Amino acid sequence: MSVVEKFAVEGPYDLSLSLQVSQGFSPGPAAESSLFQVAVRVDDAPVFMKVEQVEKEPPALKVSGDPTEKTGRLRSIAEWILFADLDLTPFYQQVGAHSVLGPIVQRLEGLKPIRPPSLFEMAVTAVTEQQISMAAAYQIRWRVVDAFGDRPPGAPEDARLVAFPKPETLAEATLEELQSCGLSRRKAEYIKGLATAIADGELDLKRLKAMPNDEARAFISGWRGFGPWSADYILVRGLGRPDSVPVDDLGVRTVVGEYLGDGSRMTADQVREALGPFKPYRGLAAFYLLAVSQV
């Protein structure tokens, strides 16, 4: 494992806190203190990547990888996963005086979401989490990864460090093989259909990065098995659009009602109204409300 590069990120940033919150939502790649370990793909080859926070102010990270000949693009991958370019300062300034969110952002200063390495993985994650708990979805998703993914050289055998399957691999899998991982028949069809469209060149997920929110939402909703919840989930967590909120999500409706309402679960319309004052950071506001219970 050789050091690739030390690089700055937009601050404030606390990698240790971000990992703690991420683990609280759902089990994931091994994390300890300010060390992030994950299996990623570089030119389709699996690579074991480590990221450490080496400075707090201004924040700086150090990325390393194995095999070393695949480390050229690791910095950009690390920046993508950890939202290195997300400047939290305008959000903090906007909500700092708020009676509820002000103390929460002060307590969680430096917290950023952690997203999947690829939009394909994010899309599959959205399918697996439809109408079941995140914890149950994670276990099903891990079985898919374990069955069809690739363990990179240097990754500890006792850790769940396996690169997410390529679209071509899941496209070739049978529905029965996917179902054996715990997926329902319908979810297996959604995932296989998405993977096949990507493998055949009919769908390019990279197009999403240049689309405005409404266009991206409509684009995602056109895929079989992807509705408004999935679209907004991919927008906020996968693409990092800080104003997007999956308002139909039961967890979001519950936590927004708890902190910004009368304590009862809100409707989707009530969530939109309650988060309205935090535009253009409504998604970040919802994320911080969800996160505060994890620390």
**Which residues lie below 8 Å from residue 246, measured CB to CB, with a gap of 6+?**
228, 229, 232, 233, 236, 252
Count of CB atoms situated within 10 Å of the CB of 209: 11
CA-CA-CA-CA torsion for 44, 34, 235, 226, nearest 10 degrees?
Answer: 60
* Bridging pattern class, strands 35-42 and 2-8: unpaired
Residues of the chain with CATH 3.30.310.20: 2-85
Residues 229-245, mean pLDDT to the nearest whole number:
96
Q: For domain 119-238, give the CATH superfamily.
A: Hypothetical protein; domain 2 (1.10.340.30)
DSSP state of 76: H
Q: How confident is the model at residue 135 (pLDDT cuts 50, 70, 90)?
A: confident
| Mean pLDDT over each residue of the chain, to the nearest integer | 93
CATH number of 2-85: 3.30.310.20
How far is residue 122's CA from residue 8's CA, in Å, rounded to a whole number? 25
Query: Binning pLDDT at 50, 70 and 90, where does residue 32 land?
Result: low
Give the predicted TM-score (pTM) of the model: 0.93
Is-contact 271 279, C-beta < 8 A?
no
Give the C-alpha separation, 135 to 117, whole Å. Answer: 19
Evaluate if residue 27 carries a pLDDT over 70. no
Q: What would the pLDDT profile of 188-236 be if each residue is shown by its tens digit?
A: 999 999 999 999 999 999 999 999 999 999 999 999 999 999 999 999 9
pLDDT attached to residue 88: 97
Per-residue pLDDT tens over the stretch 139-180: 999 999 999 999 999 888 878 899 999 999 999 999 999 999
Helices (H), the chain: 15-25, 74-81, 89-95, 101-107, 119-128, 134-148, 167-172, 175-179, 185-199, 213-221, 228-233, 250-260, 268-275, 282-291
> What does the pLDDT look like over 254-291, one tens digit per residue?
999 999 999 999 999 999 999 999 999 999 999 999 99
Give the N- to C-terminal CA distance of the chain in Å, as an integer: 31
Give the residue range(s) of CATH 1.10.340.30 domains in the chain: 119-238
Asked whether residue 3 carries a pLDDT value surpassing 70, the answer given is no
Q: Tell me whether strands 31-32 and 2-8 are parallel, antiparallel or unpaired.
A: unpaired
The answer to whether the CB of 117 falls within 8 A of the CB of 77 is yes
Model confidence at 73, pLDDT cuts 50, 70, 90, reads confident
pLDDT of res. 72:
65
